Homo-oligomer: A and B are copies of this chain.
Amino acid sequence: MHSIQHYQDLINAELNCRLERIDEPKGLYEPCKYILRNGGKRVRASLVMLAAKMFSPRYERAIPVALAFETFHNFTLIHDDIMDEALIRRNQPCVHVKWNTNTAILSGDAVMILAYTFFEEAREYITAILPLLNKTALEVCEGQQYDIDLEQALLTDALTNEAMYIRMIELKTSVLLAACLKAGAVVGGASASDADKLYEIGRNIGIAFQLQDDILDTYGNVETFGKKIGGDIAENKKTYLVIAALQNLNEGDTQELMRLYAQKTDSAEKYTAVRALFDKAQVLEKANATMNVLYEKAYTILDSLSLAEVKKTELRTFIDELRTREL
């Protein structure tokens, strides 16, 4: 992510100086600092800054809003990792693993409150952006709930369908990216129409990004993909690919896919057999097509913004980088 790298240092420094003021009780705040300082790419904060800069040279005013959204994102990571029983996050043990579940619940709560606290520094924008943060925050919880519902549903359940899956990833991932772009635009003084366009760009690339994740997990290049190929198949995860496959396969192949998806194993045989069924159902083509429509939509909206082309370059490069990533 070269396009946003220059924001990372700024965000890390601003976050750090605020975290230094927080100390006791250590049992509460050490885990908060652990997750907030354990980096990540600061994508959400960077999107706020980048969007503000599109509309105003004084984009530093967006820093508190950027910190609020980035911090909110980190809160979701702590609690989601408990629910998903994840072990590792950004190459480090998850909070509930390094400490325990109660600590992860409570420090997650504190991280969410910190997000709202950083917001206080953005006094002029509070009435405009607080409702956006609140709405988005509830939607992210809704997305997590739909994810749980989908994971618990059978492949044959009515719930397990493409529209539901897209809605889930929209809520779980893309509305936060969308809100970050919109919030930055608002701070930058964008018109309501341009701010809404930024939101739509974020919504589209967020969904596309998640579809790409599903594609890379099964069809990625083992050399460049960060994690093991086939993890989703091994875990029987309900991805876009398996849902799309079920729409396109005949009765016999559907039964076979369901039989394979009843086994929890990371064997090469299972991966090969499932992937063969995916290929037969042409899910890679379908997923790529759906993803491309979303990226194209984002570019079209970007083109339509009432801004000089030079102001759009950074966001355009960011989308290009997302789209061509291999991990």
Interface residues of A (CB under 8 A from B): 24-25, 27-28, 75, 79, 82-83, 101-102, 105-106, 108-110, 112-114, 116-117, 119-120, 123, 126-127, 130-131, 133-135, 137-138, 141-142, 144-146, 148-149
Copies per assembly: 2
Given the interface contacts A105-B79, A105-B83, does A119 sit within 8 Å of B110 by beta carbon? no
Cβ contact within 8 Å between A117 and B134: yes
Chain A, interface SS category = helix
Min CB distance, A169 to chain B, in Å? 14
Given the interface contacts A25-B149, A27-B149, does A144 sit within 8 Å of B106 by beta carbon? yes
* A and B contact pairs by CB, cutoff 8 A, 20 listed: A25-B146, A27-B148, A79-B105, A83-B102, A83-B105, A101-B101, A105-B105, A106-B145, A109-B109, A109-B141, A113-B134, A113-B137, A113-B138, A116-B116, A116-B134, A119-B130, A120-B130, A120-B131, A123-B127, A130-B130
- Cα distance A113–B149 when bound, in Å? 21
Contact of A106 among B79, B113, B134 (CB under 8 A): B79
Most chain-B CB neighbours within 10 Å: which of A106, A119, A141? Answer: A141
